[in-house]
Amino acid sequence: MATVKDIEIQKKWGVRPSKNIIVGGNIWLVDEGQEYTLVQFSINELKKNYFWNDCFCVPCDWSEEKIRDLVEQYVKEQITEEQIQDYNDFLESGEKWGWD
Protein backbone atom coordinates (compact mmCIF):
# COMPACT_ATOMS: atom_id res chain seq x y z
CA MET A 1 0.00 0.00 0.00
CA ALA A 2 1.35 3.41 -0.98
CA THR A 3 1.28 6.47 1.28
CA VAL A 4 1.12 10.17 0.42
CA LYS A 5 4.31 12.14 0.96
CA ASP A 6 3.33 15.56 -0.38
CA ILE A 7 0.50 17.24 -2.30
CA GLU A 8 0.91 20.33 -4.47
CA ILE A 9 -2.25 22.24 -5.39
CA GLN A 10 -2.07 24.79 -8.22
CA LYS A 11 -5.32 26.77 -8.24
CA LYS A 12 -6.89 27.78 -11.56
CA TRP A 13 -4.15 26.00 -13.51
CA GLY A 14 -5.93 25.94 -16.86
CA VAL A 15 -8.95 24.99 -18.92
CA ARG A 16 -9.66 21.41 -19.94
CA PRO A 17 -9.03 21.00 -23.67
CA SER A 18 -11.27 19.21 -26.14
CA LYS A 19 -11.32 15.43 -26.50
CA ASN A 20 -9.07 15.78 -29.56
CA ILE A 21 -6.12 16.63 -27.29
CA ILE A 22 -4.47 13.78 -25.41
CA VAL A 23 -2.90 14.67 -22.08
CA GLY A 24 -1.25 11.61 -20.56
CA GLY A 25 -1.48 11.13 -16.83
CA ASN A 26 -4.26 13.65 -16.21
CA ILE A 27 -7.27 12.33 -14.32
CA TRP A 28 -10.03 14.70 -15.37
CA LEU A 29 -12.79 15.55 -12.91
CA VAL A 30 -14.01 18.52 -14.97
CA ASP A 31 -15.76 18.84 -18.33
CA GLU A 32 -14.27 20.18 -21.57
CA GLY A 33 -13.82 23.94 -21.44
CA GLN A 34 -14.08 24.04 -17.64
CA GLU A 35 -11.33 25.71 -15.59
CA TYR A 36 -9.48 23.37 -13.24
CA THR A 37 -7.06 23.18 -10.34
CA LEU A 38 -4.04 20.92 -10.93
CA VAL A 39 -3.18 18.51 -8.12
CA GLN A 40 0.18 16.72 -8.15
CA PHE A 41 1.43 14.43 -5.42
CA SER A 42 4.37 12.33 -4.36
CA ILE A 43 4.43 9.09 -2.41
CA ASN A 44 6.83 7.86 0.24
CA GLU A 45 7.60 4.67 -1.67
CA LEU A 46 9.40 6.40 -4.56
CA LYS A 47 13.18 6.24 -4.30
CA LYS A 48 13.50 9.62 -6.01
CA ASN A 49 11.95 12.99 -5.24
CA TYR A 50 9.42 13.14 -8.08
CA PHE A 51 5.68 13.54 -8.35
CA TRP A 52 3.65 10.43 -9.13
CA ASN A 53 3.02 9.99 -12.87
CA ASP A 54 -0.72 10.72 -12.58
CA CYS A 55 -2.25 14.01 -11.47
CA PHE A 56 -5.78 15.23 -10.84
CA CYS A 57 -7.59 18.07 -12.59
CA VAL A 58 -10.37 19.06 -10.20
CA PRO A 59 -13.00 21.81 -10.09
CA CYS A 60 -11.59 25.12 -8.85
CA ASP A 61 -14.10 25.35 -6.00
CA TRP A 62 -12.92 22.17 -4.27
CA SER A 63 -11.53 22.64 -0.76
CA GLU A 64 -8.02 21.52 0.17
CA GLU A 65 -9.58 18.96 2.52
CA LYS A 66 -11.66 17.43 -0.29
CA ILE A 67 -8.56 17.34 -2.54
CA ARG A 68 -6.45 15.71 0.18
CA ASP A 69 -9.15 13.08 0.79
CA LEU A 70 -9.27 12.29 -2.95
CA VAL A 71 -5.49 11.90 -3.19
CA GLU A 72 -5.26 9.82 -0.01
CA GLN A 73 -7.97 7.44 -1.24
CA TYR A 74 -6.43 7.15 -4.73
CA VAL A 75 -2.93 6.45 -3.40
CA LYS A 76 -4.21 3.90 -0.90
CA GLU A 77 -6.57 2.05 -3.24
CA GLN A 78 -5.24 2.47 -6.78
CA ILE A 79 -1.43 2.43 -6.73
CA THR A 80 0.04 -1.07 -6.70
CA GLU A 81 3.48 -2.30 -5.66
CA GLU A 82 4.12 -3.28 -9.28
CA GLN A 83 3.34 0.26 -10.48
CA ILE A 84 5.66 1.71 -7.85
CA GLN A 85 8.50 -0.61 -8.90
CA ASP A 86 7.94 0.16 -12.59
CA TYR A 87 7.99 3.91 -11.94
CA ASN A 88 11.09 3.65 -9.74
CA ASP A 89 12.82 1.71 -12.54
CA PHE A 90 11.76 4.34 -15.10
CA LEU A 91 13.08 7.21 -12.94
CA GLU A 92 16.39 5.46 -12.30
CA SER A 93 16.82 4.74 -16.01
CA GLY A 94 15.99 8.33 -16.94
CA GLU A 95 18.51 9.73 -14.50
CA LYS A 96 21.18 7.29 -15.64
CA TRP A 97 20.66 7.43 -19.41
CA GLY A 98 18.83 10.74 -19.96
CA TRP A 99 15.26 11.73 -20.62
CA ASP A 100 15.16 12.17 -24.41
The number of distinct structural domains making up the chain is: 1
What domain range includes position 76? 4-97
CA distances for 68 relative to 19, 32, 52, 79, angstroms: 27, 24, 15, 16
For 71, other C-beta atoms within 10 Å of its C-beta total 22
Give the up-direction half-sphere exposure of residue 84: CA atoms within 13 A in the CB hemisphere: 17
Global confidence as pTM: 0.91
Comparing CA positions, the residue from 52, 20, 21 lying closest to residue 39 is: 52
Question: pLDDT tens string for the chain (100 positions)?
Answer: 899 999 999 999 999 998 777 788 999 999 999 999 999 999 999 988 999 999 999 999 999 999 999 999 999 999 999 999 999 999 999 999 998 7
| Angstrom distance (rounded) from CA 71 to CA 57 | 11
